[in-house]
């Protein structure tokens, strides 16, 4: 973590190192961690919409706790970063293009050809925003709004 604070390493490398270190530790209480971070959770009405055919949590967060969140929030699927099982590769993290490809492949395997609604708060999801019919951006900063406009991506905001 010190290397990350000093900008000696990337976020992805730090995540890889941490996940590699804890991958065999069976004593970690991920539910306790989820309970702690849930104190800062925002309730978004769109996530309770029952008209969607499938609700997918696609995240760069580690699967070990993202799956708990997905289950508690009634997502049918959780696509997240898995524990690494090989040497470091930037593609290990379910982020940016990797996330888009994982999502598109999952949908394709289910016979789904489009993304109806995407809810996000991060520019890292730009490639997915380009595919979605509707984009809902949570608390966007000016940089994110500007990038979306530059890419002619229509969006709604939730503040």
State residue 3's pLDDT score.
64
- pLDDT band with cut points at 50, 70 and 90 for residue 10: confident
pTM of the model: 0.91
Q: In what order do the strands lie in the sheet with 132-138?
A: 115-120, 132-138, 156-158
Higher per-residue pLDDT: 6 or 118: 118
Given a cut of 80, is residue 2 above it in pLDDT?
no
State residue 6's pLDDT score.
65
Max CA separation in the chain (angstroms):
47
Please state, in angstroms and rounded to a whole number, the distance separating the CA atoms of residues 45 and 113: 25
- pLDDT band with cut points at 50, 70 and 90 for residue 11: confident
The mean pLDDT of the chain is 93
Please state, in angstroms and rounded to a whole number, the distance separating the CA atoms of residues 1 and 17: 10
CB 103 within 8 Å of CB 58: yes
- pLDDT band with cut points at 50, 70 and 90 for residue 90: confident
């Amino acid at each position: 973590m010190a290397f990350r604070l000093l900008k000696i390493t990337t976020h992805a490398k730090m995540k890889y190192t941490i996940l590699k270190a804890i991958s065999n530790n069976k004593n970690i209480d991920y539910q306790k961690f989820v309970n702690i971070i849930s104190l800062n959770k925002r309730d978004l009405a769109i996530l309770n919409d029952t008209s969607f055919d499938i609700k997918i949590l696609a995240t760069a967060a580690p699967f070990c706790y993202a799956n708990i969140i997905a289950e508690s929030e009634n997502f049918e699927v959780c696509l997240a970063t898995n524990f690494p099982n090989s040497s470091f590769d930037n593609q290990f993290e379910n982020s940016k293009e990797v996330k888009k490809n994982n999502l598109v492949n999952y949908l394709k395997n289910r016979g789904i050809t489009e993304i109806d609604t995407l809810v996000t708060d991060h520019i890292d999801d730009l490639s997915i925003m380009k595919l979605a019919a509707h984009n809902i951006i949570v608390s966007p900063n000016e940089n994110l709004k500007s990038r979306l406009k530059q890419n002619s991506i229509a969006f709604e905001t939730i503040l």
